[in-house]
Amino acid sequence: MGRSPCCEKAHTNKGAWTKEEDDRLISYIRAHGEGCWRSLPKAAGLLRCGKSCRLRWINYLRPDLKRGNFTEEEDELIIKLHSLLGNKWSLIAGRLPGRTDNEIKNYWNTHIRRKLLNRGIDPATHRPLNEPPHSQSQSQPLHLQNHNQNQEAVTIAVAASATTTTTTTIPVVTVPTTTTISFASSVKQEQYHHHYNHHHHQEINTSMIKGSVLERCPDLNLELTISPPRQQEHDEQFKNRNLCFVCSLGLQNSKDCSCDEIVGNSSTGNASTAPAYDFLGLKAGVWDYKGLEMK
DNA sequence: AATGTCAGCAACCGCAACGCA
DNA sequence: GTGCGTTGCGGTTGCTGACAT
């Protein structure tokens, strides 16, 4: 027998939501919070499946949503992020506060695609339409190029703008050498944490971003730098120590510090036993590059 | 005014990842 | 380690309104 359906389809409404349904959903979530979508409809007295409720809330009813037209700045940011990340709409949405992945996806398909075509740019590859695909690296979009390339020791900083800088370094352990990423983001740390908790398996795709980022998008502040892994570079006190995410944020001695819990072997130089940074509680050992590849 | 076409957007569907027993 | 239930993502569909004929 296959999996049971997510809802009893015979007894659920479909199609557009009514005002009454919206009100029920809003009041229920205000009272009980998000989550447990499967049981929510029954508890809220809605004849909808949990999926439908979740979608309605996330894409339309959430109070922090920014309604209205996209600005020119948002347009350009979406284009740049798409060139880096591909159709990772949830990731792109994470960089645009108040916008949902569905909204951005629709906006891309209806407006930006056409806008790029009018500029003579292929929206799929972000390269000129009339440019012959003379090499794989140039004919593929950036996000597709990256995972064809061997990983190297590289530190990458990504920022939506250049106000604050939050830096951490993450090893990707299944590649021959250590890949590290530094995130410099104006997004509040807590927002980043929230986003990361939901999307950590995709967020790491940013690690695929390499030198050509700046070449492609010179005015997008990605603060790309290439450097040896930080632990090998300096900080004598950490030389024989593994850094947790908390310390990587400069919060050494914090109660959340878990450096000493991390098991790692920094002396081998082997990536699979490389210094382990506990990024948001994800021990280095869990990073599986293959699992992070774009579809 | 009636009909056809198209664009925009909300919602659905299938699948994969995740978490837990 | 495995199987099952739940959640989230991305592609696709279909409804609706605006515009053209």
The stretch A259-278 carries a mean pLDDT of: 37
Residues of chain A with pLDDT > 70: what percent?
Answer: 40
Residues of chain A with CATH 1.10.10.60: 72-128
pLDDT in tens, A42-71: 888 888 888 888 888 888 888 888 878 888
pLDDT at A163: 33
pLDDT in tens, A10-50: 567 888 888 888 888 888 888 888 878 888 888 888 888 88
CATH assignment, A19-61: 1.10.10
A51 touches strand C (CB under 7 A): yes
* Distance separating alpha carbons of residues A131 and A147, to the nearest angstrom: 23
A70 CA to B9 C1', in Å?
A: 14
pLDDT at A224: 33
pLDDT at A44: 87
For chain A, give the mean pLDDT: 58
The stretch A164-184 carries a mean pLDDT of: 34
Nucleotide nearest to A38 (CA to C1'): C6
pLDDT category of residue A164 using cuts at 50, 70 and 90: very low
pLDDT at A95: 85
| 3-class SS letters over chain A | CCCCCCCCHHHCCCCCCCHHHHHHHHHHHHHHCCCCCCCHHHHHCCCCCHHHHHHHHHHHHCCCCCCCCCCHHHHHHHHHHHHHHCCCHHHHHHCCCCCCHHHHHHHHHHHHHHHHHHCCECCCCCCECCCCCCCHHHHCCHHHHHCCCCCCCCEEEECCCCCCCCCCCCCCCCCCCCCEEEECCCCCHHHHHHHHHHHHHHHHHHHHCCCHHHHHCCCCCCCCCCCCCHHHHCCHHHCCCCCEHHHHCCCCCCCCCCHHHCCCCCCCCCHHHCCCCEECCECHHHCCHHHHCCC
pLDDT category of residue A134 using cuts at 50, 70 and 90: low
The stretch A189-194 carries a mean pLDDT of: 37
pLDDT at A69: 84
Considering the segment(s) A72-128 as one domain, its CATH architecture is: Orthogonal Bundle (1.10)
Q: Check residues 41 to 60 of chain A and report those whose beta carbon is under 7 Å from nucleic acid strand B.
A: 48, 51-52, 55-56, 59-60
pLDDT in tens, A81-97: 888 888 889 888 888 88
A187 CA to C17 C1', in Å?
A: 37
| Predicted TM-score (pTM) above 0.85 | no
pLDDT at A183: 36
pLDDT in tens, A214-266: 444 444 443 333 333 333 333 444 334 444 443 443 334 444 444 444 333 33
pLDDT at A70: 87
Q: Check residues 90 to 119 of chain A and report those whose beta carbon is under 7 Å from nucleic acid strand C.
A: 90-91, 101-102, 105-106, 109
Q: Which residue has the higher pLDDT, A213 or A98?
A: A98
A15 touches strand B (CB under 7 A): yes
pLDDT at A10: 53
A131 CA to C19 C1', in Å?
A: 35
pLDDT in tens, A228-241: 333 333 344 433 44
pLDDT category of residue A271 using cuts at 50, 70 and 90: very low
pLDDT at A141: 55
A125 CA to B9 C1', in Å?
A: 25
pLDDT at A138: 52
pLDDT at A195: 37
The residue that minimises its CA distance to C1' of C8 is: A198
